[in-house]
Amino acid sequence: MGKFEINILGCGSALPTLRHYPSTQVLNIRDNLFMIDCGEGAQIQFRRMHLKFTRLGHIFLSHLHGDHCFGLIGMISTLSLLGRTGELVIHAHPQAEAVFRPQLDFFCRELPFAVRFEPVVPNRSEVIYEDRSIRVTSLPLIHRVPCSGFLFEEKPGQLHLRGDMVKFYDIPIYRRAEIKAGADYTTPDGQIVPNARLTTPADEPLRYAYCSDTAYNEALIPLIRGVDCLYHEATFGDDAEELARLTCHSTARQAARMARKAAVKQLLLGHFSARYDDEQPLCDEASQEFTPCMLAHEGMKIVLGR
């Protein structure tokens, strides 16, 4: 299967720091770019990470807090200056269009492309985007305002043809696609060769879950079970557990508990509070509950693979 890459453009939270940009990620899935959240400076980071503006077709906003969406108008304005055409789809809370449309009408009057807002209804999990190769499902998060996470997953791929069998039965090229889709093969003299003899299983679809911003929420576990990578916010450490509860955020330890209970393959922590000069203690606390666990950082690129 094709490329599935997570690019971290920003992993800070609401208060500015000199270490982090606010929340922004870009997934590169088979050279199509999907942005998740769009904090201030997203377009600068986009350029810094050598991502191609022309490959961006969809932006998913988790919620309407500034640290997740203040970069949107700048991003759209830049796409316009670059002469983008076609359509850009913003998947966001149903209120988002009322918030951003007047700004677009004022600052981006003659856009050479259409901006379409696709409402993401909070408090439920449903498929919000689908194409030939991937599916995106919303994840209900618990925050001070309506908030949705996102599960990106590949669709099941095709079976792999065994080269030795292709040779042995001299299978013509025009029959190979149907065998990869599961069909048996009938030889010219009428012998039926079962599919299982000719193929090996398809690759396991890759899955990535983005959960920010959210309080600890065990209802998510069945929705994210076994994902290849879980990004979970870890705004605070053990020192500020009460503050996490009051502000509907999570501690690193809680993020790791989610990872353990959902049996994910790896955990990526982010959305760090400005109160920490060094996030390593957050990683240490999380690692007591679950490994492998990593701290996100700007410029980080994770390639999901098999």
270-293: b (≥16 Cβ within 10 Å) or e: bbbbeebeebeebbebbbebbeeb
Alpha-carbon distance of 26 to 166, in angstroms, equals 39
CB of 68 vs Zn ion, minimal distance in Å: 5
Q: Work out the end-to-end distance of the chain between its first and last CA atoms, rounded to an integer number of angstroms.
A: 9
CB of 45 vs Zn ion, minimal distance in Å: 16
The reply on whether position 65 binds Zn ion by CB under 5 A is yes
The smaller minimum CB distance to Zn ion, of residues 13 and 45, is found at: 13
Alpha-carbon distance of 195 to 192, in angstroms, equals 9
Q: Which residues pair with 127 in a beta bridge?
A: 137
- Contact letters for Zn ion, residues 138-167 (x by CB under 5 A): ------------------------------
Judged by CB under 5 A, the stretch of 5-13, 36-44, 216-224, 260-268 that binds Zn ion is 5-13
The reply on whether position 285 binds Zn ion by CB under 5 A is no
Annotation marks residue 67 as catalytic: yes
The smaller minimum CB distance to Zn ion, of residues 59 and 115, is found at: 59
Residue among 5, 40, 154, 213 that touches Zn ion (CB under 5 A): 213
The closest residue (CB) to Zn ion is: 65
64 with 94: CB under 8 angstroms?
Answer: no
- Chain centre distance of CA 257: 20
Interface residues with Zn ion (CB under 5 A) are 13, 65, 67, 213
Catalytic residues: 67
